[in-house]
Amino acid sequence: MTTYSSGTPVAAVRLSSARRTAVDRAGDPILRGLTWLASAVAIVLFVALVYKVCDLAGESFSHYGLSFIGRETWNPNPSTKTYGFGAADFLFGTAVTSFFALLIAAPTSVAIALFLTELAPRRARRPVATLVELLAAIPSVVLGLWGLIVLAPIMSSTIEPALHAVLGWIPLFSGTPSSVGILTGVVILTIMTVPIVSAVMHELFGTVPGELKEAALALGATRWEMVRMVMLPYARSGMVGAVILGLGRALGEAIAVALVVGNADAIHTSLFEPGSTLASHIAAEYQGATTSLQISSLAYLAVILLALSVIANLIARLIARRAPLRLGAGVGGPE
Amino acid sequence: MPHRRTVLLAGLIPLTVGACGSSSSSPATDSKQLVGAGSTLVAPLLSQWQPEYNKQAGVTVAYSAIGSGGGIAQITARTIDFGASDAPLSEDQSKEANGVVQIPWALAATTVAYNVPGVPTELKLTGPLLAEIFLGKVTTWNDPRIAAANPGVTLPALKIIPVHRSDSSGDTYAFTNYLSHVSPEWKASVGTSTEVAFPGGIGGKGNSGVGGAIASTPGAIGYIAISYVLANKLDFALIANAAGNYPVPDVVSIEAAAKTLKSVPSNNEVSIVDPPASAPNAYPISTFTYALVPLKSPKADTLKAFLKWAITAGQKFGPKLDFAPLPAEILSADETTIARIEN
Amino acid sequence: MSPPAPTATLAGRLMGDVRLRRRRALNRTMETVATLAAVAAVVVLAVVFVSVVIKGIGAINLDFLIHSEVPFGQSGGGIANAIVGTIVLVALASAMAIPVGILVGLHASEFARPRTAAAVRFALDLLNGVPTIVTGIFVFGLLVVGHTQSGYAGAFALAIVMLPIVARAAQEVLSLVPATVREGALALGATRWRAVVRVVLPTASSGLITGALLAVARAAGETAPLLFTSSILTTTGVSTNPGQTLVSIPLRIYQLAEGTSPSEHSEAWAAALLLILAVLAINVVARALYGRTRARMAAMQ
């Protein structure tokens, strides 16, 4: 309030006494032109990015066409008969790691958001919410470091043997526990996406009108019934949008995943086995690729990754159109 | 109040622009500086050379261990002054690189390290057995074939986890080259290259990453440059050579392998893996590692001086990292090649 | 999406309900489950943070901060060059992304028709969704192929990551500036650009700085955009010349994380702690500023 009353009149006085110089008259079109140019830059940048990455993938695209997506081979040794490339291994790795990460992260995020809006002691809400939001800002390479050095040994010594003992009859949890692998990647992606998704959900639940909640409670509903019958239906589309937002982030993460996923070009049923994702494989191989077909095939993987993230973005927009996200919600991740 | 804040905002921009004003001469023209990248095997030796050569010649050598494939790719694109690779350029790569010569400038070995709790170092393995392990056919440490080679050693029923390089690597080249020599099946299905389609296992970035994966994964076995094994005290295997002996990988056994070299071809491509039985103490996965240098370089003189120093005075830094000195015939071939580099 | 309906059926269902105890039990169970899940998740997140702090704090010392990496096999290396490199890279990226981002925001709030503004917002959202490794490949193809890696290329890649964050924040905060403020200046005879420079921008300044700071925090922690653009050393020791490649803290952590020796790991932890503290400090400041902007805007309405 004070800033408003002390600031604006000063400026206004100066403005009113300012004579219209040539600079003044030119100012408007210049500012308009500059802002227009900046907006054009944003659009051109995205278009150029799509074009350039597709262009880099050109050789592989003309060699394999769309069949690249389903090919399971990734053999960079040009002197062997099976020399050739395909995206299937990495699409599989990306799908599995992202799917399971979100399978855990989505309900956990709902729980955190409900806890923060309904259950937590009033005084604890702000600090915990801030903590969760700040954790969304932890750089992924730090999570990768933690995953490789702290988490990976625990995975092979404790978590995976326990899962194997209880759920070993499911093929997903068969096999031998290992420190790095798909499951370690899943855990890291979960830790990465929970803060992002829960921050958005927290905000969504905050938008549920108090009257609706109170009406339900006044009708004798328990708190859980109020959540299930009022809050969740009200926020449903926004929640789906939030999960897809997390998905977009998980799909594209290269560094943290490359550190813990085991970097094997293979498809296994067991989550304990090593694998690779589109992003982690590009990170591992792009700089050292020597044949032009391999280089363009890696760019082809990037094109697929780009397409997936654009599709996720579009779906999230369609679903969450009615639930605009606040400024702070997108910290460290796509909004 | 708003004014002060505008100043703050405006202050950001000059601050950031100011940071880019401090430019010095670019690497392309600075003859007091050489930029190289590639092999992680040779990186420990280079990191000894860098301060020493700077002291003696006043030339700074920047080196990034991005893997041999990266070294080949980067020198082909001429983004660096020299590349480093433990794998010789293939015919296609050589054509693509257009006037890059390879200069063998260090001699070392790729060893096989493992992490099997309760099993001592220097486990004995044969070449064919190693191929079976990496083909995924021998899957547990107590496999009778491993036991047969190691009487008296108690082997656990632990799953074998092969560890390979995830980047494009000269160690992969040396190792797959060796396996192709000793296993027809390996040769036919996987072959020799800086990057191959491994039938299984996990990948680590650089020798460092493979070492890290072995150290942290019980049951792991992987190939890794000798100096990384020493520095990190990893357990390593003894590999049977053609004579049926199990030499310890060290300067002596690497030199013995290098002695089997008969002649140096004009492109300097020399392979000493799986040396003949006539060298009873030769280590079977020894490898030369190459500097990749364009024949036409804007920094020809600086480059030539550095290479000459590296293959002569620089060699004395090798033995403590288990790099063996270069044999005489390689030295003379190198000198001939270095003389061809010009501006 | 019509809340009254469920409430109405709810009322019906509640009428004559004789299983109140079961409902209460279910309520208690669900509350407990949600609380436990939330607490567990927050604890896990806190553990990650605390373990980085604990492992990092032991390895940080003055030598670590003022030295660069040491030859193979020796311990006691530092990250002085990476600290300086990160500062230069992020500063340069900010110089590219922040002015453009704020101009994009102004375009939406002052000049653009709603449809145009929506199109730009869409492009920004798409850009924000691009995986950063793909951004790295784009800049590699655009600036590095045929040239060399450099600090400029790395900074450009980081700027692409920053732009949507700065611009979206600017769009939002500028749209919050009350129309009365803008109209007041115009009514007093100011031209549009003077009104923007003297009134609109100052009013929104702390919000704009928030956006810029969040983008800076994000860029400082990014590894993937630098992997193919500023990762091959072209110099040794500390360098501020963006014509050469600049080492950055995230990239250094990435390299050290996969190291074999414990000394490499402790260097990685120390670097990680430094990075986290910097990123979180920037975030805290940004959040505080944002809270103030909102309060101020609300007061002006």
**Residue B334, C-beta contacts closer than 8 angstroms, at least 6 positions apart:** B103, B104, B105, B268, B307, B311, B326
Which member of B15, B28, B33 has the closest CB to residue C91? B15
Instruction: Give the range with max mean pLDDT: A16-30, A57-71, C76-90.
Output: A57-71
Using CB atoms, pick whichever of C41, C140, C173 lies closest to residue A112. C41
* Chain C, nearest residue to A114 by Cα: C34
Q: Is C8 a residue whose pLDDT tops 70? A: no
Per the CB < 8 Å rule, is A78 touching B90? yes
* Rg of chain C taking only CA atoms, in angstroms: 25
Cβ distance C130 to A317 less than 8 Å, yes or no, reads: no
How confident is the model over B109-142, as pLDDT tens digits? 999 999 999 898 889 999 999 999 999 999 999 9
Selected residues 269-288 of chain A with any CB under 8 Å from a CB in chain B:
274, 276, 284-285, 287-288
CA distance B69 to chain A (A): 4
Q: Is A109 part of a structural domain of the chain?
A: yes
B329 exposed, middle or buried (CB, 10 Å; 0-12, 13-18, 19+)? middle
Task: Give the pLDDT band of residue B78 (cuts 50, 70, 90).
Answer: confident
C-chain residues near A15 (CB < 8 A): 185, 188-190, 194-195, 198
Asked whether A274 and A182 are in contact (CB, 8 A), the reply is: yes
Comparing CA positions, the residue from B181, C287, B201 lying closest to residue A331 is C287
Is pLDDT of B146 > 70?
Answer: yes
Domain span at residue A241 reads: 87-282+311-328
**C15, containing H or E segment:** none
Q: Give the residue, B58 or C158, on which the prediction is more confident.
A: C158
CA pair distance A319, A321, nearest whole angstrom: 6
Q: Closest to B72 (Cβ–Cβ): which among A75, A79, A290?
A: A290
Residue labelled with tokens 């700071």: C213
CB contact under 8 A, A75 and B197: yes
Q: List chain B residues with CB under 8 Å of A82.
A: 189, 197
Q: What pLDDT, on the 0 to 100 scale, is given for residue B279? A: 87
Interface residue A279 vs chain C (CB under 8 A): yes
Minimal-distance CA residue of chain B relative to A268: B200
Which of residues 220 through 279 in chain B touch A, CB cutoff 8 A? Answer: none
Segment B296-306 shows an average pLDDT of: 90
Helices (H) and strands (E) in chain B, counts: 13, 11
Residue A95 makes CB contacts below 8 A (sequence gap 6+) with none
The one-letter amino acid at C278:
A
The interface predicted TM-score (ipTM) is 0.87
* Per-residue pLDDT band at C90 (split at 50, 70, 90): very high
CB pairs under 8 A between B and C: 130
CA A315 to each of CA A49, A107, A240, A320, C11: distance values in angstroms, whole numbers, following the listed order: 21, 20, 10, 8, 35
Please, what's the largest Cα pairwise distance for chain B?
87
Minimal CA–CA distance to A94: which of B168, B67, C134? C134
Minimum-distance CB partner of C283 among A52, A191, A331: A331
Instruction: From A68, A40, A71, select the one nearest A307 (Cα to Cα).
Output: A68
Query: For residue A176, what is the nearest residue in chain B, using CA coordinates?
Result: B159
Is the pLDDT score of A76 beyond 50?
yes
More confident: C156 or C293:
C156
Task: Say yes or no: A156 contacts chain B, CB-CB below 8 A.
Answer: yes
The rounded Cα C215 to chain-centroid distance in angstroms is 4
Confidence of residue A327 (pLDDT cuts 50, 70, 90): very low
* Whether residue A169 has pLDDT greater than 90: no
Q: How confident is the model at residue C9 (pLDDT cuts 50, 70, 90)?
A: low
Q: Which of C111, C210, C258 sits opposite A32 (nearest CB)?
A: C111
Those residues with Cβ within 8 angstroms of residue B22's Cβ, 6 or more apart along the chain or in another chain: C240, C241
In this prediction, residues B185-197 reach a mean pLDDT of 91
CA distance A137 to chain C (A): 7
Q: Show the tokens assigned to A273.
A: 């086995």
CB pairs under 8 A between A and C: 364
Q: What is the mean pLDDT of residues B159-187?
A: 92
Least trusted range by pLDDT, from B249-263, C17-31, C240-254 = C17-31
Angle at C292 between CA A120 and CA C123, to 5 degrees: 90
Backbone angles phi, psi at C240, to 5 degrees: -115, 10
Q: Which residues are bridge partners to B111 per DSSP?
A: B224
- In A153-216 the beta strands, taken as DSSP E runs, fall at none
CB distance from B168 to chain A under 8 Å? yes
CA distance B63 to chain C (A): 6
- Residue tagged 């094994």 (tokens): B229
* Chain A interface includes B91 (CB < 8 A): no
Kindly list the residues from chain B whose CB atom is less than 8 angstroms away from the CB atom of residue C264.
208
Chains that touch C (3 or more CB pairs under 8 A): A, B
**Closest residue in chain B to residue A285, using alpha carbons only:** B167
Residues on chain B touching A287 (C-beta within 8 angstroms): 66-67, 70, 73, 167
- Please state, in angstroms and rounded to a whole number, the distance separating the CA atoms of residues A25 and A31: 11
The span from the CA of B212 to the CA of C261, in Å, is 7
Determine contact: A220 vs chain C, CB below 8 A: yes
Rounded (5°) CA angle B227-B230-B234? 120
* CATH class label, C61-300: mainly alpha
| C241 contacts B23? CB cut-off 8 A | yes
Q: How many CB atoms lie within 10 A of CB B66?
A: 29
Angle at C70 (CA atoms; ends C66, C76), nearest 5 degrees: 65
B234, B119 in Cβ contact below 8 A? no
**In terms of pLDDT, which residue wins out, A74 or C301?**
A74
- Do B321 and C243 lie within an 8 Å CB cutoff? no
**Alpha-carbon distances of B66 from A305, B49, B297, rounded to whole Å:** 24, 18, 22
Query: Confidence band (pLDDT; 50, 70, 90) for A4?
Result: very low
- pLDDT interval class at A288 (50, 70, 90): confident
| Chain C residues close to B167, C-beta within 8 Å | none
DSSP string, B43-100: HHHHHHHHHHHHHHH--EEEEE---HHHHHHHHHTT-SSEEEESSPPPHHHHHHH-SE
Per-residue pLDDT, B131: 94
Q: Counting Cβ atoms within 10 Å, is residue A126 exposed (0-12), middle (13-18) or buried (19+)?
A: exposed
Residue-level pLDDT at A235 = 87
In the predicted structure, residue B14 carries a pLDDT above the cut 50: no
pLDDT at C4 > cutoff 60: no
Question: In chain C, what residues touch A128 (CB-CB under 8 Å)?
Answer: 42
Residue A279 has pLDDT above 90, yes or no: yes
Using an 8 Å Cβ cutoff, are C289 and C213 in contact? yes
CB contact under 8 A, C141 and A52: yes
Among candidates B310, B309, B311, which has minimal Cα distance to B332? B311
Would you call B69 an interface residue with chain A, using a CB distance cutoff of 8 Å? Answer: yes
CB B39 within 8 A of CB B65: yes
Chains in contact with A via at least 3 Cβ–Cβ pairs below 8 Å: B, C
Closest residue in chain B to residue A6, using alpha carbons only: B1
The closest of B211, B38, A142 to C254, measured between CA atoms, is A142
Interchain pair C193, A149: CB under 8 A? no
The per-residue pLDDT of chain B, averaged, comes to: 86
Residue to test with chain B: of C67, C72, C86, C94, most B Cβ within 10 A: C72
Nearest residue of chain A to residue B217 (CA atoms) = A179
pLDDT of A2 reads: 37
Q: Give me the residue from A11, A18, A35 closest to C111, CB to CB.
A: A35
- As given in the structure block, the two tokens for residue B301 are 């003189």
Q: Whole-prediction pTM value? A: 0.86
Residue A323 lies in a domain: yes
Torsion angles phi and psi, residue B108, rounded to 5:
-150, -160
| Cα-to-chain-centroid distance, residue C52 | 20
Task: Tell me what the mean pLDDT of segment B306-330 comes to.
Answer: 91
Q: Give the right CATH number for B16-107+287-338 from 3.40.50.2000, 1.10.3470.10, 3.40.190.10, 3.90.950.20.
A: 3.40.190.10
B227/C148 Cβ within 8 A: no
Cα angle B176-A280-A273, degrees, rounded to a multiple of 5: 70
Residue B15 has pLDDT above 80, yes or no: no
In chain B, what residues touch A7 (CB-CB under 8 Å)? 1-3
Within 13 Å of residue B332, how many CA atoms lie on the same side as its CB? 5
Q: Is C233's CB within 8 Å of B234's CB?
A: no
Return the domain boundaries, chain C.
6-58, 61-300
Give the integer Cα–Cα distance in Å for C37 and A26: 60
Over range A323-333, report the average pLDDT: 38
Tokens of B212: 């890290």
Contact A80 B196 (CB under 8 A): yes
Q: Could you state, in order of their start, the residue ranges of all structural domains in chain B?
A: 16-107+287-338, 110-258
The answer regarding whether domain B110-258 maps to CATH 3.40.50.300 reads no
Nearest CA in chain B to C70: B47
Residue B10's pLDDT band (cuts 50, 70, 90): very low
Flag whether A47 is in a domain. Answer: no
Task: Name the token pair of A124.
Answer: 């604890």
Q: What is residue B264's predicted lDDT score, i.e. its pLDDT? A: 86
- Tens of pLDDT along A175-225? 778 888 899 999 999 999 999 999 989 988 988 888 888 999 998 888 888
Distance CA C175, CA C193 (A): 16
- Count of domains for chain A: 1
The reply to whether residue C195 touches residue A15, judged by beta carbons under 8 angstroms, is yes
Task: Report how far residue B307's alpha carbon sits from residue A252's, in angstroms, rounded to the nearest whole number.
Answer: 42
A115 within a domain of the structure (yes/no): yes
Q: How confident is the model at residue A98 (pLDDT cuts 50, 70, 90)?
A: very high
Instruction: Round the average pLDDT of chain C to a whole number and report it.
Output: 85
Average pLDDT of the segment spanning B166-184: 92
- Other CB atoms within a 10 A radius of the CB of residue A58 amount to 12
**CB contacts, 8 Å: C87 with chain B:** 19
Give yes or no for residue C66 having a pLDDT over 60. yes
The nearest alpha carbon in chain B to C90 belongs to B16
Of A180-184, A251-255, C201-205, minimum mean pLDDT range: C201-205
CATH number assigned to the domain comprising residue A167: 1.10.3720.10
